[in-house]
């Protein structure tokens, strides 16, 4: 019961902190640190899915060594791939499970068990949250639900933060265009001072 209370307190604290942050990096780091600390795990990492390379790119990690984090590209299909399609997957023993892409690196890092949870926002996969333990761990439904809840909150916050950043960028472009047009001359034709079209690259940031 005490553990459940701690998880709820952590969930509320992280949700409150995330609601005040529009920095994707800060949100990601805050989430992995909170999960690692609350579950007393060895480490926690948040990955974002690259649709071009089909790799999971590290966004934030807490508790793991640089050597392990730089072990190589994480293939979304080879590294606990079913967790990205079917939902949360718990690996009890990394030394004896074919779903682990870098089992030797995990053993060297002192990792025994891994919980992988997909991050899905708006019906689309955007990444995965993974929890690593030093001892073999039977993850409970409570553990999975807790990690999944924070992963979803972080995913929505990251996507919203990126949207806001893109929107602000486009607004700044429009403002700078107006300033240039205004400073160019005090004599205006009906078309002077009208903002030019936003470049296609900027429009992509809005979407």
Cut 0.85: pTM above it: no
Q: Kindly report, residue by residue over 105-116, the tens digit of the pLDDT.
A: 999 999 999 999
Q: Kindly report, residue by residue over 168-206, the tens digit of the pLDDT.
A: 554 454 555 444 444 443 333 333 333 333 444 443 443
Listing DSSP states for 27-39 in one string gives HHHHHHHHHHHHH
How many Cα atoms sit within 13 Å of 123 on the Cβ side?
0
What is the DSSP code (8-state) at residue 195? P
Q: Kindly report, residue by residue over 11-40, the tens digit of the pLDDT.
A: 777 777 777 766 777 888 888 998 998 889
User: Which phi-psi region, left, alpha or beta, contains residue 122 (left: φ > 0; alpha: ψ -120 to 50)?
Assistant: left
Domain annotation for the chain: domains and CATH numbers: 2-161 (3.30.450.40), 164-206 (no CATH)
């Amino acid at each position: 019961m005490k553990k459940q209370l701690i998880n709820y307190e952590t969930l509320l604290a992280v949700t409150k902190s995330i609601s005040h942050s529009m920095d994707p990096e800060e949100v990601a780091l805050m989430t992995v640190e909170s999960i690692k600390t609350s579950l007393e795990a060895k480490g926690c990492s948040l990955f974002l899915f690259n649709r071009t390379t089909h790799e999971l790119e590290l966004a934030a990690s807490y508790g793991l060594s640089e050597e392990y984090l730089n072990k190589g590209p994480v293939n979304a299909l080879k590294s606990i791939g079913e967790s990205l399609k079917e939902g949360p997957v718990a690996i009890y023993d990394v030394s004896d499970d074919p779903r682990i892409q870098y089992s030797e690196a995990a053993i060297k890092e002192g990792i025994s068990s891994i919980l992988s949870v997909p991050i899905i926002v708006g019906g689309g996969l955007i990444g995965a949250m993974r929890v690593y333990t030093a001892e073999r761990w039977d993850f409970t439904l409570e553990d999975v639900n807790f990690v999944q809840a924070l992963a979803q909150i972080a995913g929505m916050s990251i996507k919203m933060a990126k949207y806001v950043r893109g929107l602000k960028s486009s607004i700044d472009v429009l403002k700078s265009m107006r300033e240039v047009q205004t400073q160019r001359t005090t004599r205006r034709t009906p078309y002077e001072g009208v903002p030019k079209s936003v470049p296609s690259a900027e429009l992509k940031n809005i979407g």
